[in-house]
């Protein structure tokens, strides 16, 4: 699984100011909170996927995640069908009734969960840790903590790379990790080195940061500065207009 590694970072979206990406995420969040219509939520999800592809990220990357969500989602929808006693009964199994309203509620819940997950992943994949640090500094978070958030984000692909190396290493010693069942059985020899390595890496990285003067002064300078370009302004305005329209329009109809 290479979720955060190896994707292109040269697209127009990647180059946008992180505040524009934040606006995109915030507007989407607002939309899923305000609008509870399934067709709108589905349409929004399609839009998010289109934006992902447009930014040069292959949807194949999400396939392991979607498989897991499919398993969880089906269980959740069926459970909601039993428990959410709304609407017509569409099926009876022994003493249990499955309600259409419950199914809808379950589908809505899964759509919201999927949207939230994709939005967060999108933000992480579109924004470099350094840009995130600059964004947080702009939002008046002390630079000491802002740098830490950026570094935490940076650690995710590093851990993913370690995981890949561990997979290679253990497979080279004869451990079969091809099927899902084999992967589940091989969890311990893969997870244990990963945890040990992550703990050690965190300590060593902390030492490296101190050796490089981290927290020597309350402030620090940055190589880059965030500047809102014309294209950022344009896209930001377009996003605001679009989402206002999507929220208001259904109420006017």
Per the CB < 8 A criterion, the answer to whether 28 and 140 are in contact is no
Query: Scanning residues 145 to 204, which ones bind other proteins (CB under 8 A)?
Result: 151, 154-155, 157-158, 161-162, 165-166, 168-178, 188-190, 192-193, 196-197, 200-201, 204
Is 130 a binder of other proteins (CB under 8 A)?
Answer: yes
| Contact with other proteins (CB under 8 A) among 25, 205, 239, 247 | 205
State the nearest-atom distance from the C-beta of 215 to other proteins, in Å: 6
State the nearest-atom distance from the C-beta of 173 to other proteins, in Å: 4
Is 128 a binder of other proteins (CB under 8 A)?
Answer: yes
Q: How far apart are the first and last CA of the chain?
A: 45
State the nearest-atom distance from the C-beta of 231 to other proteins, in Å: 21
Binding mask 36-65 for other proteins (x = CB under 8 A): ------------------------------
Q: Give helix 18-34 / helix 38-54 axis angle, nearest 10°.
A: 160
For 162, the token pair is 């370690």
State the nearest-atom distance from the C-beta of 50 to other proteins, in Å: 22
Q: Which residues contact 116 (CB under 8 A, 6 or more apart)?
A: 29, 32
Which of 43, 51, 47 shows the shortest CA–CA distance to 14?
51
Is 6 a binder of other proteins (CB under 8 A)?
Answer: yes
Distance CA 123, CA 28 (A): 12
State the nearest-atom distance from the C-beta of 127 to other proteins, in Å: 11
Q: Which residues contact 200 (CB under 8 A, 6 or more apart)?
A: none
Q: Which is nearer to other proteins, 136 or 151 (CB)?
A: 151
Distance CA 229, CA 20 (A): 11
Q: Which residues contact 119 (CB under 8 A, 6 or more apart)?
A: 25, 28, 29, 48
Which region among 96-104, 118-126, 213-221, 232-240 touches other proteins (by CB under 8 A)?
213-221
Backbone angles phi, psi at 207, to 5 degrees: -65, -45
State the nearest-atom distance from the C-beta of 223 to other proteins, in Å: 4
Please report, as ranges, the residues that interact with other proteins according to CB under 8 A.
Answer: 5-6, 8, 128-130, 151, 154-155, 157-158, 161-162, 165-166, 168-178, 188-190, 192-193, 196-197, 200-201, 204-205, 207-217, 219-225
């Amino acid at each position: 699984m290479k979720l955060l590694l190896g994707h292109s970072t040269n697209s127009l979206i990647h180059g946008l100011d992180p505040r524009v990406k934040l606006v995109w995420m915030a507007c989407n969040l607002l939309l899923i909170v305000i609008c509870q219509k399934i067709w709108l939520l589905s349409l929004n999800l399609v839009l998010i996927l289109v934006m992902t592809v447009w930014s040069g990220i292959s949807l194949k990357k999400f396939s392991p995640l979607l498989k897991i969500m499919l398993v969880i989602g089906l269980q959740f929808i069926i459970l909601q069908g039993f428990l959410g006693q709304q609407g017509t009964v569409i099926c009876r199994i022994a003493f249990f009734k499955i309600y259409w309203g419950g199914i809808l509620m379950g589908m809505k819940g899964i759509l919201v969960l999927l949207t939230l997950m994709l939005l967060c992943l999108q933000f992480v994949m579109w924004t470099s840790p350094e840009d995130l640090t600059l964004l947080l500094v702009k939002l008046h978070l002390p630079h000491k903590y802002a740098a830490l958030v950026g570094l935490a984000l940076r650690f995710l692909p590093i851990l993913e790379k370690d995981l890949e190396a561990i997979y290679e290493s253990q497979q080279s010693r004869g451990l079969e990790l091809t099927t899902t069942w084999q992967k589940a059985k091989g969890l311990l020899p893969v997870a244990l080195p990963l945890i040990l390595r992550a703990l050690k890496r965190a300590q060593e990285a902390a030492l490296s940061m101190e050796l490089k003067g981290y927290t020597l002064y309350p402030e620090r300078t940055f190589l880059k500065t965030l500047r809102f370009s014309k294209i950022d302004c344009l896209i930001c305005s377009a996003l605001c207009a679009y989402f206002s329209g999507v929220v208001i329009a259904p109420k006017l109809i």
